[in-house]
Every structure is written in structure tokens, then in C-alpha cells.
Structure 1
Amino acid sequence: MRIVVSGGGTGGHIYPALALIREIVKKDEHAEFLYIGTKKGLESTIVPRENISFKSIHITGFKRKLSFENIKTVYRFFKGVTDSKRILKDFKADVVIGTGGYVCGPVVYAAAKLGIPTIIHEQNSIPGLTNKFLSKYVDRIGVCFEEAKQYFPQEKVVMTGNPRASEVIGQDGVKGRRSVGLKLNQPAVLIFGGSRGAKPINEAVLKSLTELGNKPYQVLYVTGEVHYEEVKKEVELNGNPENVIVKPFIHNMPEVLAGIDLTVARAGATTLAELTSLGIPSILIPSPYVTDNHQEKNALALSNQKAALLLLERDLTGPKLVEHIDSILLDNDQLEKMKSAAKSLGIPDAANRMNQLIKEIVK
């Protein structure tokens, strides 16, 4: 089978695509793949490193305010459709899968117009503009949240979950703990604000270092590369608490997550897929700077089911953060209830479900 995948802009669109590709390869070693993205997107560096063929088109997203740039975007869209049709014909694609981001627009639309079977995957509880547009033309739509179904034609929607979730199952948590210096016999909370870090979360942690240093649990604190040196200096000024481990970034996150008892994080779709698959309770601090405030909606999907505590950034303080951590890690009954609730929301076979969708529409 010859499969084209398109998704870009952020890791939240790219990593589910890569997880799906890996799952398909397990089942069909003869499958051939082509990834279509943009030259400026993260996909242009991440995808080729995975030894996956990559081609680019030029496309930009719409501005939400009236702008002359939107006229240029319309032109680029139709140019992108023409370029995509040529690429798809040359590759002889059997199916095209879009995992989000504006680059998917012309690629998946071109495939639909050529009569090639198409699927889009929506990771968030509120779909982006591109997937809303494409939903009229594709054959199937995979979603990760029940809340997302209402935005799409019901006859096309299938609850698949996020393929990234499949990659965290079966990881060695003991090895993960040791890799970052965590003790095996003490509870651990992971605090991170995404690959770039989050300044408000960093500030709350720094204001609580003395108090955290006296707790009977460990803190693995991931600052983000750009904040690391500044944060490290502050930690040293606070006496380098023995139970607080500071890292700029974690490359083996699935393995580390498997050994964690509680996570404090943003509410990106990929993060939530990983947490629910592993059954990890969380304190979610949604980014207020995302389209349609979708991270808060993502977080509510977990907090409404008692799998997470929702802490809005405007309410975030050092004392409030420590209070929330204590309420879970120092209360074993609460911890176990939240683990069970998180696990019940997980879809660990998400990549396989997406693979099944492909088989259904490719005759």
C-alpha cells in the first residue's frame, strides 16, 4: 500500500502521524510512505530523521482578522492543491491521511478531488479550521475526544484516540526513573510546560522550592531549554533541594512517564493521550494562548471525569500548586481513584484503530 501522510506546524500534529506510520509498518513491512509538509514547519526536520520520504508545498494559515495576507493564502491554497495533485499522482497514492495543521488543507482536498480515499485525524476537543473545512470532503474522521464529534458529519466520525498513546504502553518505568536520577522507593511528580517550557509554571515552581524541598516526594522539574540556565541559578540560590531534579528537556519522555505518579502539565492533546494511556493523574494548567482556548476544553474532558485537577493559569501561584500536588500525592485513596479514572479514558490501541480505518476505506 502506498500511503501519503500530511500534518505539520506543531509536534501535536506530527508525532501522532509518525506513531501511525510505525504501527502500519509493524503490520505491513511493504507499505510505502510519503510525508507532505512545509519547508518551514517542524515536520521538515523531524520527518526526514525518521527516514521517511518528504516533500513540501508552500502554504500559510488564515489570519483570524481581516488581512490582505488572507488573499495571498487563498492563492497559495489553490497553488498547493495543484502541486499536491501532481505529487499524489507521481507517488500513486492509495490513501491520504491528514493529522492537522494548515498544510493538510490542500493535500487532503486534492486527494478527495482525485478520488483517493481520505482520512483526517483530530487530536483536540475543538477542531481547527482546516479539519472543519476538510470534513466535508473526506471519507472518515478519527477523533480523540467525545466533545469533538459534534463538529463533524456524524456518519464519518470514529473514536480512534491518539496514535501517540500506543507508543507509551509497555515502557520500562524503572529504567525511565533511573535515567533521570529519580529514586525507586519514593513517589514522584513530573512538572513540565512542553518542549519550550512555560514561564508561569516555572515561576510558580521557583517560588515554592523551599517548601517542595521539605516534601516526602520527589520533583522532576523540566524547564524547557530556553529557561534552563536561569532556572538552574535560582535553584542553586535555594540550596539545590535534594528531592528536586531539574532538567532542560527529556528525550525519552514515554519511558520517564511510565515511572511517574503524578504530572503537572499543559493540556496539549498528545500529552493527555499519553497520560490517560498510562493511567497517570494530572494537574492541568492549560495554555490560554491557543486557538479557541482548546487546551482548557481538553483539560475539562479529564477533570470532569475526576482524572485530573484543572488549574487555570490566572489562578496559578506557588502555594496553590503545592496544595494541589499534596492533595493527590499525599492522599493514597485520591491518587488511586484518579489513576483509575485516567486509565478509563485511555485508548492504548489508537494507532491500530487508525490502521483499521485505512483498511476499511481502501478497497
Structure 2
Amino acid sequence: MQRKVIIAGGGTGGHIFPAIAIANALKKIHPDTEILFVGAKGKMEMEKVPQAGYPIEGLEIAGLNRSNIFKNILLPFKLWKSLRQSKKILRTFQPDVAIGVGGYASFPILNRAQKSGIPTLIQEQNSFAGKANMILGKKAAKICVAYDGMEKFFPASKLVMTGNPVRSSISQSVIPKPEALQQFGLRTDRQTVFAVGGSLGAKSINEGLTPLLSSFAEKNIQLIWQTGKPYYETALAAAAPYGEHIKVYEFINTMDAAYKAADVVLSRAGALAIAELCVVKKPVIFVPYPYAAEDHQTSNAMNLVNKQAGLIIRDSEVGAQLGNTLFSLLQNKALMEQLENNIAKLGNPNADETIAREVLTLIK
């Protein structure tokens, strides 16, 4: 039997990589499954999804601009247009089920699918649900979640605890630590920190690390630093005198090696980053991005902090606290072990397959 599935959503790597992981898991279970992605025109998914080998349709949709109200004037028109496009895509492709992974493009498709009687499944990645998902959740058949307490946002009877999907390159990585360190030109007899601010970098993390670079060298600690594009040149210049200890990258494609090389990770608190950190079992200091919708990154991080599975520094306090928190953690072996053990309990390397099986139960 031919199964047809639409996967809608995107906008950031945090939405796209889990969506591709679900698609791959569906193909693994039933190789003849036909999958169509729907994303937002001009966004990252229009490039990343075809690279992963799947077709994608783009909608004329944009998110609410929270910083400039005037940029929202065309929103109602764009939403109306994307709802019409969604209707046409559904009529042409005729899916058995539609999956929404969050991001602007998931709303029009799932809204129209629900109106057409097509079963829908929502994959809510965060511990604080987005408004669009809360509206869609009322009529969704199932809602796959990664955090406890989600009945605050959704009907409890529809919730399935699955965890967030993680790229197989990370969940199934077998690279040994010495080899991972060697890839970055680092030594095996020093502690190593991996700092990562999401695919675009993190201003506060970057600016907080810069004055600490001399301390890394003095304390004989190594740093793998993914800066993102805007800060790359500045970081490169700042790190030049400490070349042996500080390795600067605009973007890292071999995330499995970067995680494996690290003794401690400094990270934003997006859902994908957290899912990966739980699977790779690393002590982590979170610096949540404070402007994420509904401040969901702080909510995500606190969910782990309350389980003694991570530390947190507020974005505005990085300058004052980063050095002290980071260097004292590296000296505290007992705390590092505790964080590692507790975060390991929260990882689910098979979340993609669990979600894929939930999707298949909706196909009649």
C-alpha cells in the first residue's frame, strides 16, 4: 500500500533537522512511503530539504515580527495566500496524514488538512507550546512532546511522550574522543569546552567569551568556538594570540566530533540543541536566547536545571558570570559527573522512529 505523508514547518535548523529525521525514519520502516515537505519560501528548509533528498513546496508565509510592528502589515494577506496554496497542495498530493513540526509553514497546511478531514500529528519540540500549535492541537489526532507537563497547552488524551528527534549523524556517532580532538587540532591531555550558539551564532556567548580567551590559555583549557557568521572575523582576530588553545569556526558540520571532544558545552537552549545534548550526555551551561517566542528557551533550560541536568546563565548576566561559572565547573569533577548522569536519563536516541510509528497508526 502506498503511503503519502506531508511534513510541514521550518524556519530554523531546529525545525528542519527533526523533520528530516522523521522522514528518514518513515522511509526506514516503509521504504515506499511518498513524502512531501512544505516550508516557507526564502527560508533555510528550501535548501536543506532537497539536499536531504526530499521534494519541497514553498508557501508565501512569514512569522510575526515582534521587533517591528510595521513589518506585519502584509501578514494577513500572506496568511490568506498561503492557506489557498495549502489547499491546492493537499488537493494535488492527497496525503494520508499531515505532520506539523512548528515554524510558520506548519499552520496553513495543518489548518487546511484538518478542515479537509485529513488526520494531523503535531510534533511540539519545546516545553512552552507556540500559539499556532495550541490552536492546531484542538483538532490534531496526536501531539508528540518532549517535556512533561504539556497538558497545560494540549488535551491530555492526545499527548504522546516521544522526545525530540536527533540527527542520526549525532545519535549514532561512534567517533572516539582522541580522534575527535585530533580533528580540531587539539590535545588529549587538556580539558575542552565547546561553545555553540545555534546555526546563526549567539551574540552574548560570543561577547562573553572574548575577554576570557587569555584565561583559557593561562589555565591550559581548550576551546572549540562556533561563532556564526556575524562574529567570525572578530573572534578570529581575538583568538589569534592563543592559537594553540582556541579554535574558531563560523559553522561546524561535524557536530558529533565537536560534542565528543568536549568536557563541557556552552549552548543556547533551543529544543534541538537540548535533544542532542541529552543524547551525547555532556555537562552543559545554558544561555537561553531571551527573545524566542514566549521565552521558550528559558522554559526549556529550566526543565533540565530543575532536574540537576544543566546549569543556566541569563543572557543579560553572561558578562558578569560566564568566567566564574565555566571555570569552577571544569574544576568540580563531582558536579560534572552529576550533570552528565542526570542529562543522560533524559535522552531518547530513537525519538524519530517512535514518532514515525505514531504517524503510521493514523494511516487507515
Where on the TM-score scale, by shorter chain, does this alignment land: which range? over 0.9
CA distance 1:233–1:75, change in 2 (3 Å): closer
Which of residues 205, 215, 223 is equivalent to 1:201?
205
Equivalences for residues 60-71 of structure 1 within 5 A: 60-62=62-64
Give aligned pairs, total: 360
User: Deviations along 1:189-210, whole A, 9 cap, x unmatched?
Assistant: 1012222222221222111111
Residue 292 of structure 1: how far off its partner (Å)? 1.4
CA distance in 1, matches of 2:271, 2:23: 18
CA distance 1:69–1:186, change in 2 (3 Å): closer
Equivalences for residues 347-362 of structure 1 within 5 A: 347-362=348-363
Residue 278 of structure 1: how far off its partner (Å)? 1.5
3-state SS, counterpart of residue 218 of structure 2: coil
State the partner residue of 1:306. 308
CA distance in 1, matches of 2:295, 2:69: 22
User: Deviations along 1:80-125, whole A, 9 cap, x unmatched?
Assistant: 2332222122212111101001211110111112221210111111
State the partner residue of 1:322. 323
CA distance 1:351–1:167, change in 2 (3 Å): farther
TM-score by length of 2: 0.92
CA distance in 1, matches of 2:351, 2:333: 30
CA distance 1:60–1:246, change in 2 (3 Å): closer
Cα pair 1:173 1:259 within 8 Å, conserved: no
CA distance in 2, matches of 1:76, 1:68: 15
Residue 71 of structure 1: how far off its partner (Å)? 7.3
CA distance in 1, matches of 2:142, 2:151: 12
State the partner residue of 2:16. 14
3-state SS, counterpart of residue 138 of structure 1: coil
State the partner residue of 1:181. 185
CA distance in 2, matches of 1:327, 1:166: 33
CA distance in 2, matches of 1:24, 1:185: 43
TM-score by length of 1: 0.93
3-state SS, counterpart of residue 92 of structure 2: helix
Task: Show structure 2 runs of 5+ residues with no match.
Answer: none
* Paired letter, 2:275: A
* Paired letter, 1:211: S
CA distance 1:177–1:32, change in 2 (3 Å): farther
* 1:113 is the counterpart of 2:128: no
CA distance in 2, matches of 1:197, 1:80: 30
State the partner residue of 1:244. 246
RMSD: 2.1
Identity of aligned residues (%): 33
* Paired letter, 2:203: K
CA distance in 2, matches of 1:206, 1:250: 19
3-state SS, counterpart of residue 242 of structure 2: coil
CA distance in 2, matches of 1:301, 1:208: 29
* 1:227 is the counterpart of 2:228: no
